[in-house]
Chain A
Amino acid sequence: MSPLPADLGEGAIVRRLTMDDLPEVWATVDASRDRLEPWMPWIDGTRTIEDQRQWLESVVRDEVSLDGCGIFVDGRYAGGVGLRWDPFGIKGEIGYWISAELEGRGLVTRAVRVLLDIGFREIGLHRIEIRAGVDNVRSRAIPERLGFTREGVERGRERGSNGFYDTVAYSILEDEWPPSA
């Protein structure tokens, strides 16, 4: 995947993770636990650095997805982004999170743009989805800002520390990216 690492400006990049990132990824995830718990289904199963290692090994080894990418600011891990797709190369899905202190700078939006470029141009996907909690306003702002279309609300699809929650399904099609305006 030639476009990675990609420059996000202001000292930030997005790149694939490697096993060398384990200590920093774990430290950042563990410090962000309160913030991730309501929304991220995986955080409950990420209780030790060993859990984190298993996840990292699986995504580093995975050559048919970009599920394990990280946003780095001045060389420090700031959050995760990922793109995975179905075996037929038709549909992709993007997910993301960012640490509290780096939120609000547009880093996730820019990293998602990079993954959209890769998904449509390099991988040739037809459709890319983002799902966000109905009440997760900041997360929903990203697909809305990028010109995604809202397609429905899946009731009780995900589970966080406050129980099951509804998710909004968004998508963008290959002929809609990049937005012309």
Chain B
Amino acid sequence: MSRPFLDVGDNLELRRLDPPDAEVLQVIIEADRDRLRPWMFWAESSTVDSTRAFIEKAVTDERLDPLGIVVDGELVGVVGADADAITGNYSLGYWIGSSYEGRGYVTRACSALIDHLFSVAGCHRVSLAVSVENPRSRAIAERLGLQQEGLLREAHLNDLGYQDVALYGILAQERRAS
């Protein structure tokens, strides 16, 4: 069932999701719903069926969104890189269960995925958009060495109201230089 995609090392890997993974993901989503809801539009109404339908629709052999974050063989979160059909640039997204937060898994997973996008997929740019009210997520962008390129005013809405969104980007030549 498990289809490894990238071995990040040290018991961390990324793999393509399969429809039965919806059950494991939904356990995490339900436990963390209040924490995910402000940032993930799907979190409020998510069910096993909607998560399974998303996996069935989104997972193909070509797409890199979504991929499961797997720690010691256990699925603990999701990371994805969504391609622009015309430019081949990618935008990143991610979430992880609260009990696995704070250990660097998302940062390492994204770092390996960015390397793959530049060296294997041959893309030019990878971007990431994060609400300024989500400091943990912004910290990941900064640890990954992405450069903040702009601040989009009131571009995200949740229960806290409209928030500015920080836009980050990294180019292939910067990754090679680092």
Contact = CB atoms under 8 A, between A and B. Distances in A.
A151 B153 contact: yes
Contacts of B155: 90-91, 127, 171
Given A45-B86, A157-B89, A169-B167, A152 B149 contact: yes
23 contacts: A45-B86, A88-B41, A88-B157, A90-B155, A90-B157, A126-B154, A151-B151, A151-B153, A152-B151, A152-B167, A154-B149, A154-B150, A154-B167, A155-B125, A155-B147, A156-B171, A157-B89, A158-B87, A159-B124, A169-B167, A171-B155, A173-B153, A173-B154
B145 interface: no
A91 B156 CA distance: 9
A79 to B, nearest CB: 20
Interface residues of A, number: 24
If over half of B's interface residues share one DSSP class (helix, strand or loop), that class is named, otherwise mixed; here it is: strand
B127 interface: yes
Interface string A117-156: 0000000001101000000000000000000010111111
Interface centre among B88, B127, B153 (most CB of A within 10 A): B153
Contacts, number: 67
B162 interface: yes
A158 B108 CA distance: 28
A45 B86 CA distance: 8
B28 interface: no
Interface of B: 41, 86-89, 124-125, 127, 147, 149-155, 157, 162, 167, 169, 171
A156 B150 contact: no
Interface string A62-75: 00000000000000
A156 B149 CA distance: 11
Nearest to A175: B154
A95 interface: no
A159 B86 contact: yes
Contacts of A41: 86-87
Nearest to A153: B149
B137 to A, nearest CB: 18
A135 to B, nearest CB: 17
Interface string A89-110: 0110000000000000000000
Of all A-B residue pairs in the complex, the 8 with the closest CB atoms, nearest first, are A152-B150, A41-B86, A156-B125, A159-B87, A151-B150, A152-B149, A164-B124, A156-B124
Interface in A40-80: 41-42, 44-45
Contact of B87 (A153, A157, A169, A171): A157
Nearest to B166: A152
A177 B164 CA distance: 19
Interface in A152-180: 152-159, 164, 169, 171, 173
B87 A164 contact: yes
Contacts of A152: 149-152, 167
A57 B29 CA distance: 39
Contacts of A153: 149-150
B57 to A, nearest CB: 15
